[in-house]
Structure 1
């Protein structure tokens, strides 16, 4: 089973990935653990996404959204059923961290239910109120805005 991890390759997403990204994100959104993204939004933001492939199949995704001059957020991080627990999520996070470093952004954050996963990848739990950029751009429109149960995590990049 671990052989799948070795075969997973991360790359920047392209427009040909929109359908599979839409399906993957919708599966998480239906469970209430990820915000939905329309195909139109995915098309507009495709340059912010990375995907993980095993062979020709896209099995995971994540995106990086700039929240300020010194802060980006990992969003829409998900792995297809049957591929979880194989290190693919960590490969995606590594790729997103690499992208943030290329943009000279020193801080990367996420809102998550999977705190242990992010801690394993070098993030620390922080108070989400330290991210007014996030609160005013996204949280203001979120249905969970007054009862948010996600945990904020942060990693300082060197």
Structure 2
């Protein structure tokens, strides 16, 4: 049974191993073990027993903006809605933390996020500090075909 849990420092080696292929391909940004450790509280893991089979992170940029980062699911576990459950978990976490406006995602798989209520936006509206802090580290920078999408948190209030 797959369980969603907050990451611990002892999970970092499995996390790094799981994402290695996507980092090499340039579909996920490389984050050093120290970067992951510094942000360990941001990560939620999908675990099958003690095995990390997926993870993502909710990174807070400001009171108004958060970002879902590094969404990955082990190839052998895809098709089981694990990614969807992790995204829903991070959206609930953003609401609990009272992020005021948007949750951003940059992705090569926009359809996945659109099915979860995200809407595509022009990358030029993304705060500059986001672009320079992360995108400059990408092997595809400055020519990138990632798609930017946002989830409007005010939607929850309308759905209640």
TM-score by length of 2: 0.89
In the TM superposition, 1:6-85 aligns within 5 A as 7-85=1-79
Shift of 1:35: 0.5
C-alpha distance after superposition, 1:2-51 (max 9, x if no partner): xxxxx221111111111111111222101210011111111111111000
Task: Tell me how large the CA RMSD over aligned residues is.
Answer: 1.3
TM-score by length of 1: 0.90
Q: Secondary structure at the match of 1:68?
A: coil
Shift of 1:134: 1.7
Aligned position for 2:82: 88
Is structure 2 residue 145 aligned with structure 1 residue 131? no
Q: Secondary structure at the match of 1:93?
A: helix
Distance 1:14 1:102 in 2: 21
Q: Secondary structure at the match of 1:47?
A: helix
Aligned position for 1:149: 145
Distance 2:104 2:115 in 1: 14
Q: Secondary structure at the match of 1:144?
A: coil
After superposing on structure 2, the runs of 4+ consecutive aligned residues of structure 1 that deviate more than 4 Å are none
Q: Secondary structure at the match of 1:109?
A: strand
Equivalent pairs counted in the alignment come to 152
Shift of 1:136: 3.2
In the TM superposition, 1:102-121 aligns within 5 A as 102-105=96-99, 106-121=101-116
Task: Return 5+ residue gaps in structure 1 as ranges.
Answer: 1-6
Q: Secondary structure at the match of 1:62?
A: strand
Shift of 1:145: 2.4
Task: Return 5+ residue gaps in structure 2 as ranges.
Answer: none
